[in-house]
Every structure is written in C-alpha cells, then in structure tokens.
Amino acid sequence: MKTAKKTIMLSLLFIVASVKGQYKEFEVDVVGTGESILLFPGFTCTGSVWEDVVVELSKNYECHVFTFAGFGNVTPIEKPWLPKIKDAVNKYVKEHELENPIIIGHSLGGALGLWLATDDKHPYSKLIIVDALPSTGALMIPNFDSEKIAYESPWNKQLLEMDKVSFQSMAAQMASGMTLTIEKRQELIEWIVNADRETYVYGYTDLLKLDLREDIAKIAIPVTILGATKPYGLEMVKTTFERQYKKLKNYNIEYVEDSAHFIMYDKPEWFLDKVVAALK
C-alpha cells in the first residue's frame, strides 16, 4: 500500500511538472521546485529507477530525471552514443539556465557525471556518485587499454546476433547479481531486454572506452561516492574504489553492507539518508 501511494504521488507530480524541452539524446521529466538536481540512471535503466528518491527530493529540489536514448521508450541515436549524451546534457543545462546544478548518477550515470565535471568551466556544483567508477573497463578487462576497445569485436557481434531467448537468459543472470531485492529483478530484466540492441552493444562499448582515472584530478567540486559491497565484499570494494579514485581531490566515500549494485533498491533508507546529507 505504501508503495502504491508513492507511485500515485509521483505520477501526479509528473503530470503537473513542466517538462523542459525535448532532446533526441534523452527525455527529461522535471519534478519539484528549488535548487536543480540532474538524476542520471544506470545503463539500460529508465528514470523510474529514481522513483522513491524523487518523491522525497522533489519536496525541496527541482529534479531533472533523465532517460537516455535507446532505453525505455526513447528513440535510439547513432553512435558514438555516450559522447553525444554528454554534449547534450551541457546544452540542456545551458539552454534551461540551470545555475550550479547538482548531479546524482548511478553506474553509467555516475561515470557520466564524473566526465561532465572534468570539463573546464563546467557549471556543476556537486556530484553524488552511486556505485560507479572512473573506468569500468579497467575493472572488467585485464591489461586494460581504452584505445584497444572497438565497436567491431567478436563479443559485440555475438551480442548483436543473439536470439531473444538467449538474450533474456543473459539479462536474468545479470539482474540476479545487481540487486538483492528479488521483486525488483524483473524490472531490471525488462529494461535490458527492451533496450535497443545496438545501443546496448555500442553504448556499453562507449562506457568501456571511457577512462577518467587521470582526468578526475581536474575535478574541484565536492564528490560523494556511495559504494555497494555485494557480491565482492567490503575489503575488495574498498581497494578497487580507492585505487580508481586516488587522483580525485575532494571526495568522501561511504560503503553500504548487504547491498548489491542498485543501492536505492537494496538499502533505500540508508541511501536516501546519505543523499540528503550530501546535498546539505
């Protein structure tokens, strides 16, 4: 019942909100009034991943909730996908005269937030990074070299040609490791399966290409990083985060026990408390 009430409340908020413009790289729902927050979802996710968070934050902030091209019902765009999204976000902020907006980004959205903040004279005032790293590729690929990551590869070809049943099976396996909250796993599966296949393949390649481990030294604004400890354990996660973020100057890392990648699902109260504290 509590969840249903929240869903109805959020739906009403979206109905009365002013949706500020339409961009081919993303769709944005604007909820609430006050200081601006940009909320970036993770890879394949829609803006509804922030549903419960937005219900609370929109009481005091103007929340700009993004869904990126190729995901949800947003029309795909041509590659390179991620660089186009980055440029379009800067354009969105400028055209809508958002002053010193805050970024909250999960996974891919967190990496995007870091990338935006490495630009000279960027307008952003604060970053809240949710279980994201400056280099996803370095985490996943031994002897990682971003220049060797290519769109045309045997793995990408296999993914593009994978039949629906096999792709759904892969999505289910992935979802089982991304949240401990069983009732949320089907939602993750649907987001993956319904994603535009080329965006899924080439967009993820863009993410793997992105290596910000050196560039984050340019970031001067405050950064709060929230890290999940499942399934790898606290010590391994701490080692990974501290190694990847060692060039970042002004940051604070908080780790949460008993949560997988989707912290907002597995530890919602902890997550909201940490976000509110970081905003203040």
| Tens digit of each residue's pLDDT (9 = 90 or more) over 233-271 | 999 999 999 999 999 999 999 999 999 999 999 999 999
The closest alpha carbon to 90, from 57, 115, 55, 59, belongs to 115
Averaged over 80-100, what is the pLDDT?
Answer: 97
pLDDT at res. 212: 98
Of 27 and 13, the structure prediction assigns the larger pLDDT to 27
Percent of the chain topping pLDDT 90? 89
What residues contact residue 235 under an 8 Å CB cut-off, 6+ apart?
none
**Mean pLDDT across the chain:** 93
- Indicate whether 109 pLDDT > 90: yes
pLDDT of residue 20: 42
pLDDT band at 21 (very low <50, low <70, confident <90, very high): very low
The Cα–Cα gap between 23 and 28 comes to: 8
- Does the pLDDT value for residue 17 go beyond 70? no
Confidence check: pLDDT of 82 > 80: yes
Q: In sequence order, what are the residues at sequence separation of 6 or more whose Cβ sits closer than 8 angstroms to the Cβ of residue 159?
A: 167, 197, 200, 201
Please give the pLDDT value at position 8.
41
Two structure tokens written together for 104: 């909250």
Instruction: Tell me the domain boundaries of the chain.
Output: 2-279
Element (H, E) at 251: strand 251-256
pTM of the model: 0.92
Q: What pLDDT is stored for residue 142 in this prediction?
A: 86
> What per-residue confidence (pLDDT) applies to 56?
96
The proportion of the chain whose per-residue pLDDT surpasses 70, expressed as a percent, equals 92
**Confidence (pLDDT) at 2:** 43
Average pLDDT over residues 29-45: 97
- Confidence class for position 22, pLDDT limits 50, 70, 90: confident
Specify the pLDDT at position 265.
Answer: 98
Task: Look at strands 26-31 and 126-130 and give their pairing.
Answer: unpaired
pLDDT at 19 over 60: no
Interior CA angle at 110 toward 206 and 50, to 5°? 115
pLDDT at 77: 97
Extract the tokens encoding 61.
């902030």
- Rounded mean pLDDT of 75-86? 97
- Residue 44 pLDDT > 80, yes or no? yes
Output the pLDDT for position 275.
Answer: 98
- CATH for 2-279 (3.40.50.1820, 3.40.470.10, 3.10.20.340, 1.10.3720.10): 3.40.50.1820
pLDDT in tens, 185-203: 999 999 999 999 999 999 9
Residue 3 has pLDDT above 50, yes or no: no
Pairing type for strands 26-31 and 251-256 reads unpaired
Q: What is the pLDDT of residue 189?
A: 98
Confidence of residue 12 (pLDDT cuts 50, 70, 90): very low
